[in-house]
Amino acid sequence: MAKADPTGIVDLEPGCLPVPAVSGLDRPGTLLDTVLDAVPDCVAIKDCNGVYLEINQAMAAAMGRTKAAVIGKRDTEIYPTEDARLLADYDARVIANGGVERFLVRLSTPGGQMRDFETIKAPWRDAAGGVVGVIAVARDVTDLRAAETKLRQAQRIGRIGHFEQDLTTGEMTWSDSLFEIWGRSPAAFQPTLHNVLATVHADDRERVAEAVRVSAPVVEYRIRKPDGAVRHLITEGSVQNDADGRPALFFGVTQDVTARRELESRIAHVSKLSLLGELAAGLAHEISQPLYVIRLMAEGGLDHLDQGDSDIDRVRRQFSAIIEQADRINTIISYVRRFGRRDTETSTPFDPVASIRSAIMMTNHQIERAGICLRTLLPDSGSTVMGHPGRFEQVIINLLTNAIDAIVGSEGRSIFGSMGTISVGLDEDKAAGTVTVRLEDDGPGIPAHVRERMFDPFFTTKAAGKGTGLGLSICLGIVAEMGGRLEVAAVERGACIDIVLPVVPAATEPASASPPPLQQQPAVAARGQARGRGRHVLVVDDDETCCRMIAGFLRRRGFRITTARNGAQAMARFLDDGADAVITDITMTGGDGNQLIRALRSRTAQIPIIVVTGRDPDNEPDAVYVREATDIQRKPARLPALLARLTQHLGSGEAEDEDGAE
C-alpha cells in the first residue's frame, strides 16, 4: 500500500517508480520541483490520457513555455498537429508494451526551429503494477548531431575513420567513414580481428597482427579492398585503462594515406632520375672505357690477321677480352635501367652490401675525379634487410654525392688543400637485430643550424640549381619505410650519417641488388654444344649485323635458318615455310615483334618464341611479348646462352663432338 508524505512523493512498493501525489503536483516549491529542476535533461510525467502532470524547468524551456502553462495540458495544445500525433504514438507504444523505449524525435520550437531530442520513455506504474502514465526523459542533441555530421564530413574529406576495441571481449565498433575506407558495408562486414586481418595485404599481415597484440601506438600497412584495389593506411591509437588500472579499451584513428604515398613515390622516382642526370658524366666514362678497350682489342686482332699472325690462342684471348668488356657495359646498362625504374609496391628481402657496392659503382667516377679517397669497410655480404633495393641505393647515392659536394666545395677542389676521404662501412648488432651503415667524410661538417633542418623538404645549403632540397627528406622517408632510422652521428671532424635497419630472418632469400653479369647466365661451352639436327629457326631482327651473326652461329651448329628484317616479312616467310622456333627482336619498323608474336600465337600455341630485346619487361608487364613469348633474353645476349635456351625449348640435350665445335 502506498503512503503519501508531506513532500508530495508517494512511497511505492519496491521496484516501482516514485509517483507524484496528485494533490501535490500543483504545488510549486516542493522537493519534487527542486529535484527535477536540478536535472539538465528534459523530464515530463503524463497520465494515460496524455495530460502533463509534471515537467521540469529544462522541459519548459525546450517548449518555450512556463511550467504552469504546460501542466494539465496535452501535446495537441502545445505542439503542431503532426508533432503531437507522433508523441502520442510513442506514449501509446510505451503504455501498450509496458517497457522502456528509446526514440529520436524531431520537434518544432515556438521560434520555428527544428530540434532533435533523444528520448527515453518508461511506464509509470502504481503500487499494484498497473500502468498509470508515462515518464519521459529527453535530451536536446541537435548541436551534437550537427557536430557529428561535420565530423563525418571532415573524416570523409580527410579519409579518416575511428574505431574502438574492447580489450576484454575483443569486440570492435567502427565509424561509418572507416567502413567507407575499407570499402565494406556495415551490414555485410563484421569488424572482428580475424576479418580485418584477412583484408590486410599478405606482406603486412604478420606485422599488423603483432601490432594489435602489443597495442602498438602506430602502424602503417596496406589493405586490399573488395574490388582488388590496394590502399595504404596508418592507424594510431591509445589504450584506455579501467578504474583498476587495467587495459580496457583501445581507441584508434585510421587514415587512408594512399594518395600521399603515391605522391611520395612519384617524387622519389623523379629524384632518382635527377640523380641519374647528375651521374651521367660518370656513367658515360664507365661505358666509354670498356668501349675503348673493345675497340683496341678488335683493331689489334685485325692487325694481327693483316700481318699474317696465325696465333689462334692470341686471337681467342683478344675476343674473350672483348666479351668481358661487353659484359661490363651490360652490367652498367642493366643497373641504370633497373635504378631508373619505378619501384613496385612489394618490399623484398635483399643484401644491403650488394646495394652499397652498386651505389659506389654509380658514384665512383665522381669520387675519383674529385681526388677523394674512398675507404670501404664492407663484408663480402651482409645480413638480409627488407625494402626496395633501388630505393636503398638511392639513399646511399644521395649521401655519397652530398659527401663529395661537402669535400670538394664550391671551387671544385678539396677545402683543406689535400685529398679528402669518404668512408663507407657496415656493422651488425646481433643482439639488437640490426645492421648499421655508416657514411663518414672529413669535409667541413654540418653546422648546428643546418642539422636542425637538414631533413626538412626543400631545405638545401647548395647553390641555386645545384639541389632541390628533397634528397635527404626522401632518404629519411625511405629508411623509415624500411623500419629503420637515419641519424646524424657526432664526430670530431666532418660529418657522419648512420642508417640503422632491422634484420629479417636469415631464412629469407635476399634479392640481388644488381643483375648478374652475363657470364653467370646459363650457357653452353663453345665445345660440346647441342646439334641443331636440321631444325628450322626463323631469325628476325632489323639490324642486319645482329641478324647475320645469330643466323651464322646457329647454322654452324646444324640448324636450318631463315632470316627476316621485320614482323611482316617474318610472318610471310613463316606462312610460306613454317619454323620449329622463332628468335625475334621487338622494336622494328614494318611490323614489330609484338605484332609478329600475336600473329604466330593465333596460329599455334606450341612454337617456341625467344625474344631478344633491349627493352625492360618489368616496365611493361602487359606487353604481348611479356605475356606470350616462351623466353626473353636481354641485349646484349651472349650467343652460347641463346643457343642453350633454344636447344632447351626445342627439347634437345644431345651434344656435339669436338669436331663440330668452333
- The pLDDT assigned to 520 comes to 37
Among residues 608, 564, 610, 616, the alpha carbon closest in space to that of 590 is found at 564
What backbone torsions phi and psi does residue 79 show, to the nearest 5 degrees? -105, 160
Q: Note whether 2 and 12 are within 8 A (CB).
A: yes
- The pLDDT assigned to 662 comes to 38
Residues of the chain with pLDDT under 70: 1-30, 267-283, 285-286, 289, 292, 335, 338-346, 410-419, 448-471, 506-531, 652-662
Concatenated DSSP letters for 614-654? SS-GGG-TTSHHHHH-SEEEESS--HHHHHHHHHHHHT---
- The pLDDT assigned to 13 comes to 39
Provide CB contacts within 8 A for 608, sequence distance 6+.
580, 581, 582, 630, 631, 646, 649, 650
SS3 for 408-450, per residue?
A: HCCCCCCCCCCCCEEEEEEEEECCCCEEEEEEEECCCCCCHHH
H/E run at residue 280 = helix 280-306
Q: Note whether 350 and 384 are within 8 A (CB).
A: yes
For residue 308 the three cell numbers come to 699474317
- The pLDDT assigned to 632 comes to 92
Q: Note whether 158 and 180 are within 8 A (CB).
A: no
- The pLDDT assigned to 466 comes to 52
- The pLDDT assigned to 459 comes to 53
Beta bridge partner(s), residue 240: 249
- The pLDDT assigned to 279 comes to 64
For residue 29 the three cell numbers come to 516549491
- The pLDDT assigned to 419 comes to 66
Q: Say how many C-beta atoms besides its own lie within 10 A of residue 10's C-beta.
A: 19
- The pLDDT assigned to 46 comes to 93
SS3 for 152-201, per residue?
A: HHHHHHHCEEEEEEECCCCCEEECHHHHHHHCCCCCCCCCCHHHHHHHEC
Find the Cα–Cα–Cα–Cα dihedral 577, 583, 589, 590, rounded to 10°. 20
How many helices and strands (H and E) does the chain possess? 20, 25
Query: How many Å apart are CA 514 and CA 92, to the nearest integer?
Result: 79
What is the DSSP code (8-state) at residue 217?
S
- The pLDDT assigned to 630 comes to 93
| Locus of grid cell 660529418 | 495
- The pLDDT assigned to 150 comes to 80
Q: Note whether 606 and 562 are within 8 A (CB).
A: no
- The pLDDT assigned to 273 comes to 66
- The pLDDT assigned to 519 comes to 38
